[in-house]
Structure 1
Amino acid sequence: MSVRFGLVILAVLALAGCERPASKSEPKPAEAPLTVKPAALSNTLKAIKARGELRCGVNPALPGFAFQDNGGRWRGFNVDFCRALAAAVLGKPDKVTFVPLGNEERIAALRSGKVDVLWRNTSWTFSRDAGDQLDMAAISYFDGQGFLVRRSLNLTSAVELNTAKICVQGNATSAQNLEDFFRSRGIAYTAMVFDSEEQARAAYQADKCDAFTADISALAATRTLMDDPGAHVILPDAISKEPLGPLVRQDDPAWTDIVRWTLYALVLAEEHGVTKANVEDMKAGADPEARRLLGEGAYGAKLGLDADWAARAIMAGGNYGEIFDRDVGQGSALKLDRGLNALWNAQKPGLLYAPPMR
């Protein structure tokens, strides 16, 4: 075989191996349609349905957030979210048992399965996420640690608490935050450490310390329990970030999704003007995202729930704004401003933000 003939053969083979560019006039091959995977089965949800009740861990005595009224009925901000979750997964808001848990037992109760969700004043921290292997499904309340003092002291800032005695709960993040704040500023103080928030509150009221430090929401609740609420003031300082919300175990991501999106459903309801009173009207309204939230497109199936799960959650106690105002806002004894807990698109924007329903 001549050299020239061999080169021709090699050239032909090279051309045959090259990929011919597609002509602009040639149709592109059709893409395979996207398929939606069925919802993963949640073992927690199966257990809840088998027993016929949701078990929700709450603070036993935190006015505005979780407490029992004179008739023994549980009320409050966190309580209403638990009822919304029960309505979403079991059909009725009263299918929930409230399990009162102190600080020292709350994490163990959740990890052992004593409760299905921990919805109380427990902060989302690195140690709880990575160390305790718990997930915060979403943030339901943006809080921070502050100081309650007697109005007669005429204080305007926590930095004026030099050499003060400060009541604080020891088995919580509050004591570490207190130490960090004063040490970083070189301010002398004495920590009066107690086993529970109730004990710290009682010591403050008994005048055993100059200030009481805890989450600002807890301080607002504490003030309502004082003999003379008007004699006490919360200083403007927030010395920490305390994102609060429902904690769940990390071993059931499908349950985490259910808890997360039940909370987000209430946030989205407020954003789109869906209230406890107008749910049925909004199902056929002009807002497409509100219609999806209330059942159009059967989005509930992706959570292992029916189409009306979010509608039931909203009808249980209203949207996020209705719950906030009734329990801790201007319609309550606490009269807390929305502040950071306002919607992202409010006239005075806050941090409250839910992903879109689509």
Structure 2
Amino acid sequence: MTPASLFDLMDPRRLAKGAAAFALGFTVSHSELDNATSHMDEVQRRGVLRCGVDTGLVGFAQTDETGEWSGFEVDLCRAYAAAFLDDPDRTEFVPTTTLDRFRAVREDEVDILLRNTSWTLSRATMQGVQFAGIYYYDGQGFLTPADLGLTSAQELSGARICVQPETTSALNLDDYAERYGLTFTIVSVETVAEARRAYEAGECDAFTSDVSRLAGFRRSLREPEQHMVLPDVISKEPLSPVVKDDDDAFAMAVEWVLTSLIAAEEYGVTQSQAADLDQISNRPEVRRLLEVNEETIASLGLQTDFARRAIAAGGHYGELFERNLGETSPLQLERGLNAQWKEGGLLYAPPVR
């Protein structure tokens, strides 16, 4: 064995893959780990990008009466399709539940999971999947009827709480109860639709999930103004695109498309500018973003103008946020942690160079 191959085998990502594969009971060969662009090749041969999304959540992924999909995660999927296939409409949206989302990734039913999924250690090491950046910084909260007059989630002790099983929300609820000595009666609801039915039927006194999800959930109720999200935020929930853990190059391509949308907002490159200006700019960082050096991305299966395509599909990160989640949308969410780093948020794009 040469020194180079030894170092290659000791690569942290390779070791992590082996551990995850062992835990899940499947084997990964050296050749599979080195299959640099196999998934991108498959997507491009198929001509359609399949995105796993929610079964229906206002602001993130929902269908109208004609079956047309819309939402923040839907727009992200279209940006990926534009970058990978040069057409934002070459997408297929696959509704997934909390229980089957990771299986859908592992079994190649979806190419990218974009479904309010938090990046955690156990998921990264035990589910056979890979996380590819953070597209939304969230936290867990509680929605309750306003007429209960609650001011804190700690006043919910003894209440019936609707929560989706096998989620970080369920685990965080256990931690919260233990920390403050609270007791809850758990009402398991697999989908948002089931949660809405149970909540409106009075089968639970509160619904707990990510604050962004609660905002969309509240808007879907018959009388949204009769319900409130309590001020408590009990966790950190970094939401990430998820891909199968067998192709580092594909995961990196997914991550850098997201990075390009964040960088575009920082540089002020809007949807209309990306579509019209191409690489015409007196700023070198903008030229590098819109026309990446071919040698730099050769291993990712992307074209040099992948970022321009992604931005032109629906806009930079801020445009996607404002249209689907922001203060002019039905959810009316503030940017908060999801603002650019220069504005006090956590969005920070690595240099595109």
Same fold (TM > 0.5): yes
- Which residue among 242, 247, 253 is the counterpart of 1:252? 247
Residue 92 of structure 2 corresponds to residue 97 of structure 1: yes
2:92 & 2:191 partners in 1: Cα distance?
A: 23
Could you tell me which amino acid in structure 2 is paired with residue 236 of structure 1? P
Give the superposition deviation at 1:200: 2.3
| TM-score, normalised by the number of residues in structure 1 | 0.85
In the alignment, the residues of structure 2 paired with residue 328 and residue 122 of structure 1 have an alpha-carbon distance, to the nearest angstrom, of 17
Alignment correspondent of 1:167: 162
Shift of 1:282: 6.4
Identical aligned residues as a percent: 49
Equivalent residue runs for 1:119-134 within 5 Å: 119-134=114-129
**Per-residue displacement from partner, 1:100-141 (whole Å, max 9, x unpaired)?**
111221111100111111111111111210001211100001
Map 1:257-272 → 2, pairs under 5 A? 257-272=252-267
Which residue matches 1:319?
Answer: 316
Contact 1:171 1:195 in 2 (8 A): no
Q: Which residue number corresponds to residue 113 of structure 2?
A: 118
Equivalent position of 2:149 in the other structure: 154
What number of residue pairs does the alignment pair up?
318
The question of 1:208 aligning with 2:173 is answered no
SS, match of residue 212 in structure 1:
strand
Structure 2 CA distance for aligned equivalents of residues 175 and 308 of structure 1: 42
Q: Which residue of 2 aligns with 1:338?
A: 335
Secondary structure of the residue that 1:149 maps to in structure 2? strand
> Does residue 307 of structure 1 match 2:313?
no
Query: What is the letter of the counterpart of residue 281 of structure 2?
Result: G
Q: How does 1:67-82 map to 2 (within 5 A)?
A: 67-82=62-77
Q: Distance in 2 between matches of 1:176 and 1:296?
A: 42
Q: In structure 2, what is the equivalent of residue 293 of structure 1?
A: 289
Q: How far did residue 194 of structure 1 move?
A: 2.6
* Secondary structure of the structure 1 residue equivalent to 2:74: helix
Supply the distance in 1 between the matched residues of 2:132 and 2:120 (Cα, whole angstroms): 13
**Change in CA separation of 1:189 and 1:40 when aligned onto 2, cut-off 3 Å:** closer
Give SS of 1:261's match.
helix
The answer (yes or no) to whether the contact 1:282–1:290 under 8 Å persists in 2 is no
Q: CA deviation at 1:218?
A: 1.1
Q: Structure 2: how far apart are the matches of 1:92 and 1:220?
A: 31
**Residue 57 of structure 2 contacts residue 192 of structure 2 at CA under 8 Å; is this kept in 1?**
no
SS across alignment from 1:48: helix
Residue 243 (structure 1) aligned to one of 238, 244, 262: 238
Q: Secondary structure, in 3 states, of the residue corresponding to 1:45?
A: helix
Matched, 1:194 2:189: yes
Structure 2 counterpart of 1:58, which letter? V
1:322 and 1:98 map into 2 onto residues whose CA distance is 21
For residues 334 and 76 of structure 2, the distance between their equivalents in structure 1, rounded to whole angstroms, comes to: 19
> What is the match of residue 60 of structure 1?
55
Q: Output the amino acid matched with 2:108.
A: G
Aligned to 2:103: 108
Gap runs ≥5 in structure 2: 1-33
User: Equivalents in 2 of 1:332, 1:316: separation in Å?
Assistant: 19
Deviation at 1:336, TM superposition (A): 0.9
Q: Give how far 1:192 is off.
A: 2.0
Q: SS of the counterpart of 1:316?
A: helix
